[in-house]
Amino acid sequence: MRGLQLSLNKGQKLRLERAIEQLESLSSKANSDASVIVADDISVNYEDAILKGHGTAEMDGRVVATLCGVVERVNKLVYVRPLRARYKPEIGDIIIGRVIEVAPKRWRLEINFSQDAVLMLSSMNLPDGIQRRRTAVDELNMRSIFEENDVICAEVRGFQHDGCLHLQARSQKYGKLKSGQLLTIPPYLVKRRKQHFHYLDQYGIDLILGCNGFIWVGEHVEVRDDMVEDLSDKSEQQNVKSWNTVGDEEVEETYTPPDTRQNICRTANAIRVLSTLGVMVAVEVITEIVDLSTSMNLDVHEMLGAEFYVIVAEKEAERRSLSTKRR
Amino acid sequence: MAGKSSAAAATYSPSLTGQRKKRPPIQTDSEWVRPDGRGLHQCRPAFLKTGAVNSASGSAYAEFGNTKVIVSVFGPRESKKAMMYSNAGRLNCNVSYTTFASPVRGQTPEAKDLSSMLHKALEGAIILKSFPKTTVDVFALVLESGGGDLPVITSCASLALADAGIMLYDMVASVSVSCIGKNLLIDPVSEEESYQDGSLMITCMPSRNEVTQMTVTGEWSTTKINEGMQLCLDACSKLGKIMRSCLKEAASGPQD
């Protein structure tokens, strides 16, 4: 529970400790004895032909850990899973990143990984939607699409030979994100699921859970499917698009109503509390916490206080004990 | 002119002349009494804690008597300096002193020397091949310098690296020994360091029984060096155990 800087009074401390005890008792005990530190011996049956995986090394014929973590065994493979793992990208992951550089024919994004990711100009849809070869004029106009410090949602297309990530943003749901908040949480709290784009319609906000630990909470944007639009009112679309590309000053600033802004902040605070507690961040849990805070009539800033923190811990312990009882 | 000098007197600066205490001549045969009452072969009690800095990948705080050091590790991450592709990762160390670290403001040992020495001590223990093309940054900040700074910095840095999840061959523990007359003192304080005839610092990896760095200054006879090395290696293995128990506590503590 790094980053816990709240001052809890005595009663709150007791309740928090009880909730954490309950959570620990519910978690599976299978691996609790398998935590190792650097240069600890890993108990291995030396007659078996085992494969030494990530985080292990051989020293004097013994298998020794090179990381602090938990030993995992899968058939013949023995490896050490680090405690606070870095983001491990896989092809097809939805990630959110921030542009740090506009380079020839590509953008460099920062994505909470050991290296920066690269989004090629050819992996990005052009503003007028036509599929054509990128010319030199397109290259010069890259800044009109994305600039430095823009927040972008994209998908992992693959790896380069030196380990650099390649991204693509070819669909309408990817691209620049506006009117919202970007949150950073530890990447291992986001599980890979079927859906990473969520629309919370009772609050009117979009929630994108990036696999790299960046989470976007923002105003809802209608995702227009290009295929459907092309068949019908094509002329209207062209008019709208040409109006948008004329200049930033001419684009009408859509006003976000204060209710939506409150909901965005509430959801963001709920995610912050969950991440400090170390709870897996998923849509159901987030909506539960937001509902809980509205039902208790808490102000948005009170959600980051000590009392709500303890309540969320207790609620999580309750929820987990219920789910284990159901099983 | 008079006005100017009075304006200069308004800003107080401590006079450096008072600092040059005349060292009382010590007889080479006398027993040295340690100012904090420890035995000659007794180290200072250590307080170690990981997770001190939230925004860093890994961090550690160490307190050995009056020497307080905080180390934060960032990485592996891209760095502007490393533009060339390299098969192995790079390590970048930086040691700095706060302005209030030493009793006299601004009079601190050369931090640049310490940075390169820290680099030499740690690069033998990190598995650089595990993060090619990227850099690991180690930033050490000495909050209070009470003597024996570099050993504390090195031990604290290896804790921070383990906390950050960077692959290491083993933890790195470091102890220094001072020679005053015929006495060998382990883990000297700054007062003892100012009287010393020679110093010996060993940085080793206890479980592997390998030394990553050894620094000898001053006058040493062969028997004294052997004795000093033995003292250091024993103390390093004990310190290694203390570091591992600190990591174990940190690992088993916050588990949801």
A270-326 residue pLDDT tens: 998 888 888 888 888 898 888 888 888 888 888 888 888 888 888 888 888 888 787
Pairing between strand B210-218 and B198-205?
Answer: antiparallel
Please determine, for residue A194, whether its predicted confidence score (pLDDT) is greater than 90. no
**CA-based nearest distance B227→chain A, Å:** 27
Mean pLDDT, chain B, integer: 84
Say how many CA atoms lie within 13 Å of B77 toward its Cβ: 15
The token pair that represents A145 in the structure block: 């699409």
Q: What is the pLDDT of residues A101-130, one digit of tens each?
A: 898 888 999 988 888 899 998 888 887 777
Mean pLDDT, residues B229-241: 93
In this predicted structure, what is the pLDDT of residue A238? 46
Mean pLDDT, residues A16-32: 72
Mean pLDDT, residues B170-186: 91
Please determine, for residue B6, whether its predicted confidence score (pLDDT) is greater than 60. no
Burial (0-12, 13-18, 19+ Cβ within 10 Å), A236? exposed
Q: What is the pLDDT of residues A172-182, one digit of tens each?
A: 888 888 889 99
**CA-based nearest distance B54→chain A, Å:** 6
CB–CB contact B165 A24 (8 Å): no
Mean pLDDT, residues A146-171: 88
A277 closest CB neighbour out of B75, B77, B256? B256
In this predicted structure, what is the pLDDT of residue B235? 94
In this predicted structure, what is the pLDDT of residue B70? 96
In this predicted structure, what is the pLDDT of residue A242? 43
Q: Which of A228-232, B56-60, B157-161 has the lowest mean pLDDT?
A: A228-232
B162 closest CB neighbour out of A2, A23, A38? A38
Decide: helix, strand or coil at residue A254.
coil
In this predicted structure, what is the pLDDT of residue B12? 67
Mean pLDDT, residues A192-211: 88
Mean pLDDT, residues A132-149: 86
Mean pLDDT, residues A201-228: 82
The token pair that represents B140 in the structure block: 């050490």
Please give the share of chain B, as a percent, with pLDDT higher than 90. Answer: 50
CB–CB contact A39 B171 (8 Å): yes
Q: What is the C-alpha R_g of chain A?
A: 24
Q: What is the C-alpha separation between B41 and B38, in angstroms, rounded? A: 8
In this predicted structure, what is the pLDDT of residue A30? 52
Mean pLDDT, residues B187-198: 89
Mean pLDDT, residues A92-104: 91
Q: By the 8 A CB rule, do B137 and B92 touch?
A: yes
In this predicted structure, what is the pLDDT of residue B228? 92
In this predicted structure, what is the pLDDT of residue B24? 59
Mean pLDDT, residues A51-66: 84
Q: Which of A44-48, A87-91, B118-122 has the lowest mean pLDDT?
A: A44-48
Please determine, for residue B2, whether its predicted confidence score (pLDDT) is greater than 90. no
Q: By the 8 A CB rule, do B68 and B144 touch?
A: yes
Q: Does B163 or A40 have the greater pLDDT score?
A: B163
Give residue A28's pLDDT band: very low, low, confident or very high (50, 70, 90): low
In this predicted structure, what is the pLDDT of residue A247? 45
Question: pTM of the prediction?
Answer: 0.78
DSSP-assigned letter for residue B230: H
**Chain A: which residues have CB within 8 Å of chain B?**
1-3, 20, 23-24, 27, 32, 35, 37-40, 55, 57, 59, 64, 66-69, 82-86, 114-116, 162-163, 277-279
Q: Does A53 or A40 have the greater pLDDT score?
A: A53
CB–CB contact B167 A55 (8 Å): yes
